[in-house]
Amino acid sequence: MNKGKLAIFFSIIFICIAVFALRYTNIFDNRQPKNIVIQSGDYVVGKNIREGTYDVIVLHGEVKFMQMKMREGDRWLAVQLRRGEHVYVEGKGKVRLKPSRFEKIERGRNDIYQINHSGFYLVGKQIPEGTYIITYTSHDIKGKPFVQLLSSNRDVIHTYDFQNSRDKYYKVVCEKGQILEVHKNLFAESKHVVVILKKNE
């Protein structure tokens, strides 16, 4: 093989490697959740929105995001959006989908953890594992939370239904890797409700 053919051969190999690397990079990048602002419409995950876990933040107006009524400033944290799923947004307003950072909930006085937003909270990362008494405060007589303990696959382990019970206190044992699903009100985010976890050890 002469020098000219050798140069062409190596050029072709280099181009093939470059094309493969570019495609691999794009495939990997397309799997990463990405900031996006959306409004009223029907969105398909994997087509209009990248698959991933997002914090849903209402920038302004009033909307219904996947059956959850939300107003300006409301947040719904760590919502998992799966490929092929339809995301419906109704109403007049804009919503930011921001990749979740799973920020740690700071411990307050008397070993109290205060949850101010509806969402999915990782035990061992955002909330220490352990035994808690879960309760709530509300400035609205109709405002009652709905809470579930989920496995790492988001299968329901136990439900703590303040909505249909007179009980205002439940004991919950949270193990590392589990998820605490919190809805401050079942189908609407509420600024009047705060969910409280108090260590019971």
- Are both 63 and 122 inside the same structural domain? no
Give percent helix, percent strand, percent coil of the chain, each to the nearest 5: 15, 50, 35
Residue 148 shares a structural domain with residue 122: yes
> Does residue 81 lie within any of the structural domains?
yes
For 153, the domain range is 109-199
- Give the mean pLDDT of 163-180: 90
Asked whether the predicted pLDDT for residue 22 surpasses 70, the reply is no
Q: What pLDDT is recorded for position 78?
A: 97
Distances (CA, A) of 32 to 50, 51, 174: 7, 7, 29
Say what the pLDDT of residue 25 is.
41
Number of domains in the chain: 2
Domain stops at, among 50, 77, 99: 99
- Pair 84, 78: CB distance under 8 Å: no
- Average pLDDT over the chain reads 87
Q: Name residues whose C-beta falls within 8 Å of residue 155's C-beta, 6 or more positions apart in sequence.
A: none
Q: 121 and 142, same structural domain? A: yes
Nearest to 74 by CA among 60, 89, 57: 57
pLDDT interval class at 26 (50, 70, 90):
very low
This prediction's pTM: 0.80
In this predicted model, which residue has the larger pLDDT, 32 or 15?
32
Q: What is the pLDDT of residues 52-77, one digit of tens each?
A: 999 999 999 999 999 899 999 999 99
Task: Tell whether 95 and 120 lie within a shared domain.
Answer: no
pLDDT for position 3 = 56
Whether 168 contacts 132, CB under 8 Å: no
Which residue in this structure is represented by tokens 């605490």?
A: 180
**Per-residue model confidence (pLDDT) at position 17:** 62
Residue 40 domain-assigned? yes
Percent of the chain having pLDDT more than 70? 84
129-166 confidence digits (pLDDT tens): 999 999 999 887 778 899 999 999 999 999 998 877 77
